[in-house]
A and B are shown apart, each in its own frame.
Chain A
């Protein structure tokens, strides 16, 4: 019974963890009040780096060595971080919906570039990416520590001076500036950390899916990740994690419903957004509990 359960849902469980981590990459800029939808762009970049490295530079016949996977994650994260600095400094001068539009444009530019390069395999993409593990579930050994590390890092960050600076900028950028918080520095920092997380998740996901193509970093993906954060809750680290896991699992949980499952899925999302505008996990829920005690 265990065997069939883990065989059937092993992939989904790891995918939930990966998507939850990806949700954090969008949540971080949001803590500094920046509505950035650039995560899928960095996610795609990290994936392409892993896919290209493992199929060309480190091509192996047998199992792909795990240290190389970790190295790819590092490379993916660093490359995404560098690109984020280059993109972030000018883009973060924009606010609100204009920043969102600029980041959508960024994702589109990356997508069109990857469609046109030969190294990324054009529209078909890169396939036959070497596998470091024998089953989908074993990817948990890399995915789960990454999620835990990111959650701890983000939670600690929020408690630190930098985290409070993020919140100050989110609540009132002008006032924060007047109090001596450097808005540009902190906004770019939040954006870069988010990008690095997305790049690392991309590197794992490329191996995990066994193939990588331009359909991974699209506008649709941006909206999906935004939904993870909004439905989960955008005011606490746990929010995007729960949102990412739940929304990834929901279509599969609803599989027995049959053809209308995506309609039910959409209905549940709408219901969640209407009834819980703060998201599933909001600080208010925790505060009220404390009062009761």
Chain B
């Protein structure tokens, strides 16, 4: 096709698009979209989210679905980049005709894709977007993941509870990781607010494995507390090298280190690291107990935070749908109307999830009641360990 012909074809397409507007209806089973990273290096997190969503699907469908109508999750992979997230969202909105979307995995992807959903008036619930400014993208954007600024300070308070003598803090962070950079800002503000002195701020890359220069510069300032924001491999190595260099004080790890994948990296040196948590597998509540049992039966370990958050996101949408359905039957109704009503219902409700009781403010920011701090306890084999939740 010649470029000019193509241009005319596109112009015709736009014209056609505006003339034939067909109103879509909500199908049975009701379609809910889940778009997280199932491929790329972000898939390490995305896979945990897929599991959480799948558990929620069978769990709530076996308990009546949406007032007797079953619902179905549509998974569309976002990959790790912004364009992939937008393509996945477009497929969810226009092809799968979903009532709402859970996703995407990364905050940077959310800044690109959420705008698309907001324009199409489709509610989005972020399961793991923690950067500042996500709910402010639009009226249809909310999240179940508490922002860094709320979660991170808990571990600093816990450290001061264990050792009230702490005065000097050394901060380390991975400067090429979006989450770590925003998290370290929160850690530094919290430390200052608690009257601590930040003696040094050391930067590294998530791809580094040798931290000699950062460790010696950091320890030269004689810190009594070290705060590390990074990912599992680099953070684990940094902690190991800090301990090998003779550091004896407390270490706080950021959320990127909040995974058992770090244990084989820092081995016995992981022991005692404090990490704040938005989720605790041992949290009270019958729903969390049921969720934990299902997960443990299949995967033989404790459910991670990402899985619990994805479960909670699906749960919020299902419970909000139940309320919309009570007012007027959802199945068979106009899709556009249901999406708007569902968005209002999501923001209006209070939900008893595995994360504890959560609700939303009018912008879509989550209000989570409970946070936890866990301390790593390594087993004698130095390869496995567990998170022990502090009271």
- A292 within 8 Å of B (CB atoms): no
A-contact bits for B10-25, CB 8 A (1 contact / 0 none): 1001101110111000
Kindly identify which residue among A2, A4, A10, A115 contacts B176, using a CB–CB cutoff of 8 Å.
A115
B39, B90, B181: the one within 8 Å of A9 (CB): B90
The answer to whether B115 has its CB under 8 Å from any CB of chain A is: yes
User: Across the interface, do A213 and B178 meet the contact criterion of CB distance under 8 Å?
Assistant: yes
* CB-CB contacts below 8 Å: A253-283 with B: 255, 259, 261-262
Asked if A1 and B38 make an inter-chain contact with CB atoms under 8 angstroms apart, the answer reads no
Q: Which of A60-68, A73-81, A134-142 contacts B (4 or more CB under 8 A)?
A: A134-142
Contact (A214, B95) CB under 8 Å given A2-B16, A127-B133, A144-B7: no
A48 CB → nearest B CB, Å: 14
Does B108 lie within 8 Å of A11, measured CB to CB? no
Nearest chain B CB to A22's CB is how many angstroms away?
12
Digitize B68-82: 1 where CB-to-A-CB distance is under 8 Å, 0 elsewhere: 000000001101011
Please provide the chain B residues from 54 to 87 with a CB less than 8 Å away from any CB of chain A in the complex. 76-77, 79, 81-84, 86-87
Indicate which residue in B115, B132, B175 contacts A123 across the interface (CB closer than 8 Å).
B175
Contact residue among A9, A115, A211 (Cβ-Cβ distance under 8 Å from B108):
A211
Q: Tell me the bound Cα distance from A119 to B139 in angstroms.
A: 27
Expressed in whole angstroms, the Cα–Cα distance for A135 and B86 within the complex equals: 12
Which A residues, 99 to 154, have Cβ-Cβ distances below 8 Å to chain B? 112, 115-116, 122-125, 127-128, 131, 134-137, 140, 144, 148, 151
Residues of B within 8 A of A252 (CB): 87
Q: How many residues of A contact B (CB 8 A)?
A: 44
Question: Chain A contacts of B17 at CB under 8 A?
Answer: 2-3, 6-7
* Chain A residues in 8 Å Cβ range of B181: 122-124
Alpha-carbon distance between A12 and B131 when the two chains are bound, in angstroms: 27
A267 vs B70: C-alpha distance when bound (angstroms):
38
User: Chain A: which residue is nearest B182 at the CB level?
Assistant: A124
Given A1-B20, A123-B181, A148-B3, the answer on whether A7 and B94 have CB atoms closer than 8 Å is yes
Q: Which residues of B contact A128 (CB under 8 A)?
A: 111, 133, 137
Report the minimal beta-carbon distance from A262 to chain B, rounded to whole angstroms: 5
A-side contacts of B300, CB under 8 Å: none
| Interface of chain A residues 1 through 51 with chain B (CB within 8 A) | 1-13, 15
When the two chains form their complex, are residues A209 and B83 in contact, meaning their CB atoms are under 8 A apart? yes
Contacting pair A144 B90 (CB below 8 A): no
Say yes or no for B369: interface residue by CB 8 A criterion: no
Contacts of A4 in B (CB 8 A): 22, 94-95
Which of A123, A259, A262: most chain B Cβ within 10 A? A123
Which range holds the interface residue count of chain B?
35 or more
With A2-B17, A137-B14 in contact, is A211–B94 under 8 Å at CB?
no
Q: Is B161 an interface residue (CB 8 A)?
A: no
Measured CB to CB, the nearest residue on chain B to A3 is B17
Pick the contact of A8 from B3, B82, B91 — CB < 8 Å?
B91
Say yes or no: B13 contacts A2, CB within 8 Å: yes
Q: Which residue of A lies closest to B4 (CB)?
A: A148
The residue from A8, A125, A148, A213 contacting B90, defined by CB atoms under 8 A apart: A8
Contact yes or no, A15 B83, CB < 8 A: yes
A164 within 8 Å of B (CB atoms)? no
By a CB distance below 8 angstroms, the chain A residues around B137 are: 127-128
Chain A residues with Cβ below 8 Å from B116 are 11, 136
Q: How far is the CA of A2 from the CA of B82 in the complex (A)?
A: 25
Q: A4-B94, A11-B87, A209-B86 are in contact. Are A144 and B3 (CB under 8 A)?
A: yes
Contact status B175-A116, CB under 8 Å? yes
Q: A3-B20, A123-B181, A144-B7 are in contact. Are A215 and B38 (CB under 8 A)?
A: no
Residue B155 at the chain A interface, CB threshold 8 Å: no
Is B145 part of the binding interface, using a Cβ–Cβ cutoff of 8 Å? no
Q: Is B112's CB within 8 Å of the partner chain A?
A: yes
**Is A135 in contact with B133, judged by CB distance below 8 angstroms?**
no
- Tell me the complex Cα distance, A12–B84, Å: 10
Flag whether B177 is at the interface (Cβ < 8 A).
Answer: yes
Taken together as a complex, chains A and B put the C-alpha atoms of A97 and B166 apart, in Å, by: 53
Is A160 part of the binding interface, using a Cβ–Cβ cutoff of 8 Å? no
Binding site for B on A (CB under 8 A): 1-13, 15, 112, 115-116, 122-125, 127-128, 131, 134-137, 140, 144, 148, 151, 209-211, 213-215, 251-252, 255, 259, 261-262
Report the 7 A-B pairs with minimum CB-CB distance, sorted nearest first.
A211-B111, A127-B111, A8-B94, A123-B178, A2-B16, A7-B94, A3-B17
Q: List 13 interface pairs A-B (beta carbons < 8 Å), by A numbering.
A: A2-B13, A3-B18, A3-B20, A6-B14, A6-B17, A7-B90, A8-B90, A8-B94, A123-B175, A125-B108, A136-B90, A137-B14, A213-B178
